[in-house]
Structure 1
Amino acid sequence: MNIDEKILKRLESDSAEIDRILATENNGLGSLLKAGLKGAMRPWFILVNVLVLVNFVALIYLAYQFFTQPVDAQIFWGVLALFSFQFHIAAKSWLYNEMNRSSLTREIKRLEVAITELRKSSVTVD
């Protein structure tokens, strides 16, 4: 068995292991939310989630007021609704970016562990 065959065999076994890990891993929105709650930004993550919920209720109220007020008052309620909607979009974007950052950090840590294990169990090839 030459070096190329050894390398190919090792890569195939590693690939099969990675496929097995990825098949059992749950990458849904729930797992991303849990990952966001485990990081160092947990207090901010919770605070922004609460603000998003409060803002959603306020947005519904502002939209209701916009559609039920006379025409001269609709500008006021419409502008408030637009500002509320913009805040909602910004906060949701921050939340999804934070979940993505947390997930990416977790994956980098997994790679670090895998590399460390490979270094420990590396086979010297003559």
Structure 2
Amino acid sequence: MANIDEIIRELDRETEAVSELLAKEGGLPDLVAAAFKGSMRRWVWATSVVAIIATVLMGWTGYEFFVAQSVDDRVFWGFCFTFSATAQIALKQWQWMEMNRASLMREVKRLEIAVATLAKRSD
């Protein structure tokens, strides 16, 4: 029984270490910051700038849609608004996927380190 008790205590210590590691990891702001520091940081910056431009364009075309006098103008500005909104959505979606990829890569590296540590411990 003492052997099982020792194993349980060891697992409790490992659980506490994992809990401390998870507590150190921040929330959404840290994930966003990691995306801007990762290997695709230039693309993240570029898409952020283009997304801001798309947002401004979306606001402007939305305003023009509501103040347009003719149906032809409303169709034109409505199309422009829809296009800029779609562009913004696509860019933001790509940024979220990049944040997810960076977070997933970080977790995979942690698992690799944990497996290597366990392999050394078993040898």
Q: Distance in 1 between matches of 2:109 and 2:80?
A: 43
Q: Structure 1: give runs of 5+ residues left out of the alignment.
A: none
How far 1:71 moved relative to its partner? Answer: 3.2
Unaligned runs of 5+ in 2: none
Question: How many percent of aligned residue pairs carry the same amino acid?
Answer: 34
Partners of 2:99 and 2:84 lie apart in 1 by 23
SS of the residue aligned with 2:39?
coil
Aligned-pair CA distance for 1:24: 2.3
Determine the structure 1 residue equivalent to 2:65: 66
**Deviations, residues 66-114 of structure 1 (Å, cap 9, x unaligned):** 0111132111100110011111111111100100100110111112112
Aligned equivalents of 1:117, 1:98: Cα separation in 2 = 29
Question: Shift of the alpha carbon at 1:4?
Answer: 2.7
More helix by share: 2
Q: Distance in 2 between matches of 1:111 and 1:10?
A: 18
Runs in 1 of length 4+ with deviation above 6 angstroms?
A: none
Q: What's the TM-score, normalizing by structure 2?
A: 0.89
| Aligned partner letter, 2:111 | L
Give TM-score, length-normalised by structure 1. Answer: 0.87
Aligned residues: 122
